[in-house]
Amino acid sequence: MKFTSAIIFATVASVTVASPTVAPPTVAPPEVASAGVSESSNYAVVKEAVMHIHSRMKILSRQTNAFSSESGSLTNMFLTFQMSIYDSMLKIANTTAPKLGLDDAKSLTQVSELILLDRGRTVLNPLETKMASIIAAENCCYINQVLNLFGECIDAFYKAVDSRLVSYYAVGSTEARNEPKRILKIQYEDFNSYLGDMKQKFLPSCASGRLEYNVVEKRDT
């Protein structure tokens, strides 16, 4: 799987931005129900995990300084990620879940890939185009906070699905029980590694205010 080049972010604690408090825009999630798809077993678990992500996002965004400032690009970035999670759920409900089989543990890890890898990277990758506006707005000190929201929400999803795999395979062979968990863990660690690279490599550019930055090298997995 290929990672396209993306700019890298990190926080700069010394930067202070004074700006009026503005509430982040409210975005209603689309419905995830799909006619003909039974909300049972693995699909129900994934849906519950995504709903938890949505709830957690709303709570965290209210507690994050980035959403109390005039940092529209950051707010839009996070809301794009939030809505992309629901787009994934629609895709699961309408196409993926029926074909994979709702009671197949391996299918659950394939479904999770949409969220842990596909949707997560889809939002992070285009941020290269936002580099100039972020530095110009001097809101680099908020970048790490926003990216931490990505990490916390993905973490919530991973834990919810991972714990379900344990109970789903409480009875059965060790191999059958562990393989889906192994795949899910690889997806989770892959996303976290990518996110960590972005946060680490962005620091020098954000600190200096120059429009020079490092990029994540393309890599295959």
Per residue in 26-36, pLDDT (tens digit) is 434 433 333 33
* Residue 179 resides in a domain: yes
Contact 43, 37 (CB under 8 A): yes
Is pLDDT above 60 for 129? no
* Residue 157 resides in a domain: yes
Per-residue confidence (pLDDT) for residue 22, from 0 to 100 = 39
Across 113-140, average pLDDT: 58
* Residue 25 resides in a domain: no
Residue 197: C-alpha distances to residues 90, 175, 202 (Å): 30, 33, 8
Spatial distance between the Cα atoms of 117 and 152, rounded to a whole number of angstroms = 15
Per-residue confidence (pLDDT) for residue 143, from 0 to 100 = 66
Enter the tokens of residue 143.
């970048």
**Nearest residue to 50 via CA among 87, 105, 97:** 87
Which residue range(s) make up the domain with 84? 41-208
Average pLDDT over all residues of the chain: 57
* Residue 169 resides in a domain: yes
Q: How many domains does the chain have?
A: 1
Spatial distance between the Cα atoms of 56 and 85, rounded to a whole number of angstroms = 13
Contact 45, 162 (CB under 8 A): no
The 8-class DSSP code of residue 24 comes to: P
